[in-house]
Amino acid sequence: LEAIMPRFTRSTIPVLLRLDARAREPLFRQIDTQLREAMLSGRLRPGTALPSTRLLAAELGVSRNTVRQAFDQLIAEGFIESEIGAGTRVAAGFALQQPGAVREPTRPRRGPPRAPVSRLTRRLAEVKLPQSPRAARPIDGAFRLGLPALDRFPVETWARLAGRRWRRATASQLDYGDPQGERILREALAAHLGRTRGVSCDADQVLVVSGSQGALDLIARVLLEPGSKAWVEDPGYYGALGPVLTSGTRMVPVPIDDEGLDLAYARRVAPDARAVFVTPSHQFPLGVTMSLGRRLELLEWAGRGDAWVVEDDYDSEFRYDARPLTALQGLDGGQRVIYVGTLSKTLCPSLRIGYIVLPRPLVESFVRARRFVDTHPPTIHQLVAADFITEGHYGRHLRRMRSLYRERQDALVRALRSARGSRWRVSPSGAGMHLVAWLPPGADEAQLVDTAAREGVSALGLAMFRSRSTGPPGLVLGYGSVRASRMADAIEALDRAMDACGITGVPDAAPRAARGRSRTGAVRGRRTRKG
Ligand SMILES: Cc1ncc(COP(=O)(O)O)c(C=O)c1O
């Protein structure tokens, strides 16, 4: 080709252009695309004369109009130039290509991009991201984790409030907003959290973010130094902690016992940790509530060592057995605890509205960092959320959802207990939207999860959430989006999957928490694996 360029003659036409009359792509588009590709790859150089439309049409066996259409497009895009008397040429100023370089036409590559990304970003590929396999012919949302009852989202009310907000939107609400979040939402959240969660704060300490995920990302940016250590729960939700891992922080997995995070272990293994990430109200995924003694001990440790306690309060609005427990933040009086909450479980995950309640001295740094990340969540959504809370819809929705989830949990526990062969052991949980169903010793969680997906049920094995701890096998079952009337069908499907996997026997007595031992050391994440 080097030898025949830059002349583009009758003999080179079949080399450069191959048309397929049966293709769905129109002929003029095929000519235009192939010529463009030849120019981009350097096979047709700037200044090369193109054959006349008459010659090209005759050679290709198409109408002259078809060729003209292709040329017109290339002229409009500046690839070729046409002058009366001088014919049509590849544009002289067209020099995207290194001189002389002949590039292969670009083809989509398979696999990860070759472009270098940072070392820290490469670590994201190692974070376990617990994602249930999508079930074929799913039975409701059985048993997707963290998914609320989306069919009960108050669409009408939300649409009415949103319509009102949009119709009355002022110029300043369409402009950039406050990076800390809209004041009326911060006020509504502060009042709600004080009333329902015992969080002690005012609107100045609240920062509105894009879900808990946005909160954890910001916390990692603002507070964590590369190489510093942070205690994390094991088992725990490492997906949420991806940003922490990529900040270069060394995560130290700490086992969970019946009182919550095993502090004695943590203090022994990494007394110099700078932060701890906990779900004290309803440990994810085991469901343990951190005892008062443990809470006070944790706060005492944080206060003494100037460490931060990050409290992820993701689902504690749904407490059935008593009034929701006071948040750790309320016990601490806003000194060392950074409280993280979200509307993802109480309303729906696509809203991407979460919040952080900060100790006062941290507010300015967080707001400043926020400005450089995503500035703020959409203002009108924030205003609608504020109206939803202050006008009482949120409280009503939470009450309805609380009794709905309780009903769904009861139905799930009944279905598991009456399942064939009593192969399941389960401890009902006083809160939330998921349960751990324990399996007989030796059961292969991963195989069961894959088989269950074919039977219409998504679930995740407990191992997916473990870092170093060990313990009996089990499935983590999210029941928030499964109607009570479908629960027996969903458990039957799981039972069929158990049969197919040859899982027999009965589990050991349901442990309240995984009592597995944890080996010493920091974790840098594990390769993602289908659980
Ligand atoms: C324990 C825990 N924290 C955080 C999140 C993330 O929630 P968000 O949608 O607010 O980012 C989840 C999601 O399932 C979760 O289970």
How many whole angstroms from 244 Cα to the centroid of ligand 1? 14
Q: What distance in Å separates the CA atoms of residue 404 and residue 402, rounded to the nearest whole number?
A: 5
Q: Are 435 and 460 in contact (CB under 8 A)?
A: no
Output the CA angle 124-126-129, nearest 5 degrees. Answer: 80
How many whole angstroms from 505 Cα to the centroid of ligand 1? 34
Q: What is the 3-state secondary structure (H, E, C) of 144-156?
A: CCCCCCHHHCCHH
pLDDT of residue 334: 83
How many whole angstroms from 350 Cα to the centroid of ligand 1? 12
Q: Which DSSP string do the residues of 274-341 spell out, in sequence order?
A: SEEEE--SS-TTT-PPPPHHHHHHHHHHHHHHT-EEEEE-SSTT-B-SSSPPPPHHHHHTSSSEEEEE
Q: Are 408 and 473 in contact (CB under 8 A)?
A: no
> Judging by DSSP bridges, how do beta strands 275-278 and 308-312 pair with one another?
parallel
pLDDT of residue 118: 85
pLDDT of residue 14: 74
pLDDT of residue 95: 53
Q: Are 500 and 451 in contact (CB under 8 A)?
A: yes
Pair of tokens at residue 13: 């036409």
Q: Which helix (H) or strand (E) holds 524?
A: none
Report which ligand 1 atom has the smallest distance to the Cα of 349. 9
Please state the rounded mean pLDDT for residues 415-444.
87
Q: What distance in Å separates the CA atoms of residue 247 and residue 223, rounded to the nearest whole number?
A: 10
Q: What amino acid occupies position 460?
A: L
Q: Are 474 and 462 in contact (CB under 8 A)?
A: yes
Which of 89-93, 241-245, 422-426, 510-514 comes out lowest in average pLDDT? 510-514
pLDDT of residue 273: 96
With a 6 Å cutoff on the Cβ, whether 287 touches ligand 1 is no
Please state the rounded mean pLDDT for residues 145-163.
96
Residue 5 vs residue 171, higher pLDDT? 171
Please state the rounded mean pLDDT for residues 438-445.
91
Is the model's pLDDT at 522 over the cut of 80?
no
Pair of tokens at residue 67: 């060729």
Is the model's pLDDT at 361 over the cut of 90?
yes
Which of 26-35, 129-138, 277-286 comes out lowest in average pLDDT? 129-138
> Per-residue pLDDT tens for 472-494?
999 999 999 999 999 999 999 99
With a 6 Å cutoff on the Cβ, whether 217 touches ligand 1 is no
Percent of the chain with pLDDT over 90: 61
Other beta carbons within 10 angstroms of residue 9's beta carbon come to: 10
Q: Please list the residues that pair with 88 across neighbouring strands.
A: 50, 82
How many whole angstroms from 314 Cα to the centroid of ligand 1? 6
Confidence of residue 445 (pLDDT cuts 50, 70, 90): very high
> Per-residue pLDDT tens for 127-136?
777 777 787 7
Q: What is the DSSP letter of 158?
A: H
**Please, what is the average pLDDT of the chain?**
87
Please state the rounded mean pLDDT for residues 139-157.
93
Which of 173-182, 213-222, 320-329 comes out lowest in average pLDDT? 320-329
User: What stretches of 65-130 adopt beta strand conformation (E)?
Assistant: 80-83, 87-90
